[in-house]
Amino acid sequence: MSVQVTTGYGSLFSLGFGIGDIMTLITMARRKGNWLTASSGDVDFLEMLEQDEMSLLRRGGSVDMARFNKIWGRKLRTLMDNQPQAIEGPQAEEALGQLSRLEAYMTCIVAVLDEFAAERTAKLIVRLLLKQLLRTTERGDDLLASQFSNRLGAWRSNATARGLTVECQSIRTDLVTRQIIQPGLMPHGESEAMAKSLYWLLAESTDHFVTNSSDVVGVMICLEHLGFDILSVVGPGLDPDPPERACRVTYAPFAISGTENARFNTRIAMLLLRLPSTIVSLMNPQESLTTFPIDGLTANRCRLAWKEGAKSVQCLEIQVDIPDSARIKYAHDFRYKFVDRGTKVERTDEGVFKVVFAHALITNQEICQRLRDVLCKESEDVLNWVCGQTDDPISTNPRIEHYYALDKKRTEAFTVFQAFFMGYYYAIFLTIVYTSTLEMQTVDGGWGYGSAGFLATMRRYCRNSVDKGLSRQEVI
Residue-wise pLDDT for 245-271, tens only, equals 989 999 988 655 566 666 666 667 677
Query: Which one is predicted more confidently, 317 or 26?
Result: 317
User: Which of the 8 DSSP states describes residue 276?
Assistant: P
Cβ partners under 8 Å of residue 400, min gap 6? 389, 411, 414, 450, 451, 452
Write down the pLDDT at residue 381: 92
User: Which of the 8 DSSP states describes residue 466?
Assistant: G
Write down the pLDDT at residue 405: 46
**Cα three-residue angle 226-231-233, rounded to 5 degrees:** 100
Q: How confident is the model at residue 119 (pLDDT cuts 50, 70, 90)?
A: very high
Write down the pLDDT at residue 378: 93
Average pLDDT over residues 403-419: 82
Average pLDDT over residues 317-321: 85
Model confidence, pTM: 0.80
Task: Give the whole-number percent of the chain exceeding pLDDT 70.
Answer: 80
Extract the runs of DSSP E, i.e. beta strands, from 221-347.
Answer: 231-234, 247-251, 278-281, 316-321, 335-340
Residue-wise pLDDT tens digits, 63-79 = 999 999 999 998 888 76
Q: Lowest-pLDDT range, 72-86, 122-136, 232-246?
A: 72-86
Rounded distance, CA 139 to CA 144, Å? Answer: 8
Write down the pLDDT at residue 70: 93
Write down the pLDDT at residue 262: 60
Residue-wise pLDDT tens digits, 6-35 = 444 455 555 566 555 655 665 665 666 676
Write down the pLDDT at residue 267: 67
Task: Give the whole-number percent of the chain exceeding pLDDT 90.
Answer: 45
> What rounded mean pLDDT belongs to the chain?
83
Contact 151, 141 (CB under 8 A): no
Question: Cβ atoms within 10 A of the Cβ of 391, count?
Answer: 13
Write down the pLDDT at residue 401: 66
Rounded distance, CA 35 to CA 28, Å? Answer: 10
Write down the pLDDT at residue 2: 36
Average pLDDT over residues 455-464: 85
Write down the pLDDT at residue 5: 39
Distances (CA, A) of 20 to 7, 11, 210: 17, 15, 50
Distances (CA, A) of 413 to 217, 289, 377, 417, 419: 33, 13, 9, 6, 10
Cβ partners under 8 Å of residue 335, min gap 6? 320, 321, 468, 469, 470, 471
Residue-wise pLDDT tens digits, 322-355 = 776 645 554 566 788 888 899 999 998 999 999 9
Strands, sheet with 231-234, edge to edge from the N-terminal-most edge strand = 208-211, 247-251, 231-234
3-state secondary structure of 393: coil
Q: How confident is the model at residue 392 (pLDDT cuts 50, 70, 90)?
A: low
Contact 169, 152 (CB under 8 A): no
Query: Which one is predicted more confidently, 47 or 117?
Result: 117
Query: Which one is predicted more confidently, 110 or 148?
Result: 110
Residue-wise pLDDT tens digits, 139-184 = 777 778 888 888 899 899 999 999 999 999 999 999 998 889 988 8
